Structure 1
Amino acid sequence: MIWRNIASNFLTLAIVLLIAAAAAVAWAKREFSGPGPSAIAQCVQISPGASLNAVSNQLAAQGAISNAYIFRAGADYMDKARDLKFGSFLMPPQASMEQIVETVTAGGPSTCGTEVVVRVGVRENTVLLRDTNPETGAYEEMARWTPGSGDRPAPLVQAQDRADVRLSLVMAEGVTSWQVVEALRAADFLTGEVAEIPAEGSLAPDTYLLEKGGDRNAILAQMASRQAAILAQEWEARPFGMPYETPEEALIMASIVEKETGQADERPQVASVFVNRLRQGMRLQTDPTVIYGVTNGQAVLDRGLRRSELDTPTPFNTYRIDGLPPTPIANPGRAAIRAALNPDETDYLYFVADGTGGHAFSRTLEEHNAAVARWREIERQQGLPADSPVQTAD
């Protein structure tokens, strides 16, 4: 009788424990998958090599999750406990633990946090300090500095010394190698002296993550390696009959296309004009190459070309030389390289600005001269200085 009572009590206790365990599991699932505790957007920052335990405790401390143990258990159940990716990720208000696990294990570009961005632009280089507004989730500029314009703003200097700041370089399409080197030199958190400017066109426009104390020459080598890979891929996929003997010639053409238009959808058309001219033995007659011969890629020419500059023979004056110039005139992106190797099939031989940011394309000199006249009238109406017409044949 006694043993029967003990067994009955034990069975009852076991049932109670099972019910409690089931309730606890159900509660944990709801906690893991349900809305999180944060009423505002949260920037979740994952350090290189961070453990799941450290990340879960960090998230609990900043109020992004309600329970560090449930977060770890859920990540383990999803088989993602070892998949943490370095970066800073913006989580929306009330993001669930499940959402957070999915995001921090998927990786991708960082979307929040404090960052110092070295921007290599066509017209100027700038260094920006940006941070995330937790209410809007948008980046806001906190400080800006143009190299050579005076001392760096104090917030920018202070941010560079923080352990959690993200450092990056954004290289625009169409900048010169000299501009890239100048930007790297202005990034005083980097090390290493650059003894020689890399070959023009050899650096890939892209976003590059930087590290405090990183070597400038190693960064340039990474840029060059990326560009070489892009050029090799696009050259291998080129169609038959392109008027280039080497990948380097295609790179020269791509740099001209890059400098001639800021509209992505125009690149294949612009490339078609130059390819048509090469095939017909016509001179390219493109202003950006003449400008490069004047500046050597080490300045922005804030004026139109002078007649004397158009008349002066140089290796880059395509009004005076046949064929391509000897080197690229900038660093083209993949899209421009692809356009140079895959131009549209047109019979265009000329183009000129049309006042909309794009260009008017023409088949004959008569059509082109009419388009030039329309552009001159637009310049006059807008009070712009008259510039030399682009793509006007001799």
Structure 2
Amino acid sequence: MWRNIVSNFLTLLIVILVALGGLVAWAKRQYTEPGPLAQAMCLRVAPGASIQGVSGDLVDHGAVSSAYIFRTGAQYEEKAGKLKFGSYLIEPNSSMQQIVDQITAGGPSTCGTELVFRIGVGGNDVLLRELDPKTGDYEKVAEYNPETETPPEGFEAKAEAPDVRARVTVVDGVTSWQIVQGLKEASFLAGTIDGVPAEGTLAPDSYEVKRGADRQALVDLMKDRQSKILADAWAGRAEGLPYDSPEQALIMASIVEKETGVPSERAQVASVFINRLEKGMKLQTDPTVIYGVTEGKGVLGRGLRQSELRKATPYNTYVIDGLPPTPIANPGKAAIEAALHPDSTPYLFFVADGSGGHAFATTIEEHNRNVAKWREIEKQRQENASGN
């Protein structure tokens, strides 16, 4: 009898062990295989949050099938007590293991609220925006001009939340002086800047920064990035260009940047100025004259006077031959590429066409007709504006 009892007990034990093994294997698959989340979500891990609270949030949002397995897996990997606060973009079908890795690795938040200081040609603005995890697009929450407006009610409280990311965005075509002035106004940055960098040497881009980041360090990063962009573009430049150095190409890129805001036109505009250089013609471009008047310190805010167009200055391309001595703004990567890979065209002239772009011409007669059309468009617009 005892032998039967022992035999039955061993059999039962084996069955239990096999069942436990199967259960463990199933739980492991649940932990490591793709999860049930159908659409991306933003998971906020608050300071001091517990693995139990986070697992509950994930279950509520349909991101994990079992809070218990999620917690057990995190504990087994010795990560349950290593949560890093922040806002995390959880991609569809992320496994429990992937989510645990994400929320314990730390680093910058990948969703939630973002504070953006935007340095533009016509001025600066500050905005709060939130990433919609379902579309991947940012939605504006609030915005104001720091030079002329006070923050909207509740703006500062939201902006100062610990998991809000900070970003500085520099628009293509701003001057170095405008960038320095803008960075001084960005209250979430710290430190001073060692003077205004040489024109054209800062890369317009969007820079994620930490609160209290050093302003000079950010300027240095902009310099390094622009230097690399120019070096790479110069190394792969088209043959036969009328530039003696990368610096001259940067000057041309800045002119192209200021002459057109239409991406598809950049290489065409570059071809016009290159054609004029090769024929010994003056560039005759208003943005260079404007830079000579403003010295890059803001926007002119009016039309050029005839006296300014006639005055001999290093930047008056109606008077001087060839390129001005320096860039007239900080060109973006696309403008640099256009200056070093221009279209092959016969064009020597262009003028606004009323659509936001330009009409290009090969002969002065054709150009004059385009100018007449543009003046008629301007006249009509003025009449419509005065009639309203």
Question: TM tier, shorter chain?
Answer: 0.7 to 0.9
Q: Residue 269 of structure 1 contacts residue 346 of structure 1 at CA under 8 Å; is this kept in 2?
A: yes
Tell me the residue number matched to 1:16.
16
Q: 1:352 to 1:118 in 2, by over 3 A?
A: same
Deviations 1:36-86 (A, max 9, x none): 4xx986323589xx9xxx896674253354437537849999xxx9xx999
Paired AA for residue 308 in structure 1: S
Q: 1:383 to 1:345 in 2, by over 3 A?
A: same
> Quick one: distance in 1 between partners of 2:284 and 2:231?
28
Deviation at 1:121, TM superposition (A): 1.1
Tell me the residue number matched to 2:113.
114
Structure 1 residue runs without a partner (length 5+)? 386-394
Paired AA for residue 276 in structure 1: N
Deviation at 1:104, TM superposition (A): 7.5
Paired AA for residue 62 in structure 1: D
Tell me the residue number matched to 1:226.
225
Q: Is structure 2 residue 180 aligned with structure 1 residue 205?
A: no
TM-score w.r.t. structure 1 length?
0.83
Q: Residue 351 of structure 1 contacts residue 359 of structure 1 at CA under 8 Å; is this kept in 2?
A: yes
Tell me the residue number matched to 1:392.
none
Q: 1:323 to 1:182 in 2, by over 3 A?
A: same
Deviation at 1:105, TM superposition (A): 11
Deviations 1:188-209 (A, max 9, x none): 1211122411111000011111
Moved more, 309-318 or 84-93: 84-93
Paired AA for residue 352 in structure 1: V
> Quick one: distance in 1 between partners of 2:178 and 2:232?
26
Structure 2 residue runs without a partner (length 5+)? none
Deviation at 1:378, TM superposition (A): 1.5
> Quick one: distance in 1 between partners of 2:250 and 2:276?
17
Q: Residue 56 of structure 2 contacts residue 67 of structure 2 at CA under 8 Å; is this kept in 1?
A: no
> Quick one: distance in 2 between partners of 1:225 and 1:310?
35
Moved more, 62-71 or 247-256: 62-71
Deviations 1:222-264 (A, max 9, x none): 1001101111111111122111111110000000011111111
Aligned to 2:258, what secondary structure does the other structure show? helix
Matches within 5 A, 1:47-126: 59-63=54-58, 65=64, 66-67=66-67, 69-70=69-70, 73=73, 88-91=87-90, 97=96, 100=99, 112-126=111-125
Deviations 1:297-317 (A, max 9, x none): 112123322222211121111
Paired AA for residue 373 in structure 1: A
Tell me the residue number matched to 1:35.
36
Paired AA for residue 283 in structure 1: K
Aligned to 2:167, what secondary structure does the other structure show? strand
Q: 1:227 to 1:21 in 2, by over 3 A?
A: same
TM-score w.r.t. structure 2 length?
0.84
Aligned to 1:360, what secondary structure does the other structure show? strand
Aligned to 2:42, what secondary structure does the other structure show? strand
Tell me the residue number matched to 2:301.
302
Tell me the residue number matched to 2:171.
172
Matches within 5 A, 1:205-354: 205-354=204-353
Moved more, 142-151 or 291-300: 142-151
Percentage of matched positions with identical amino acids: 52
> Quick one: distance in 2 between partners of 1:384 and 1:243?
44
Tell me the residue number matched to 1:26.
26
Q: Residue 191 of structure 2 contacts residue 215 of structure 2 at CA under 8 Å; is this kept in 1?
A: yes
> Quick one: distance in 1 between partners of 2:288 and 2:303?
13
Matches within 5 A, 1:122-133: 122-132=121-131
Tell me the residue number matched to 2:361.
362
Tell me the residue number matched to 1:382.
381
Deviations 1:118-140 (A, max 9, x none): 10112111111223467877533
| CA root-mean-square deviation | 3.6
Q: 1:188 to 1:27 in 2, by over 3 A?
A: same
Moved more, 226-235 or 308-317: 308-317
Q: 1:168 to 1:55 in 2, by over 3 A?
A: farther
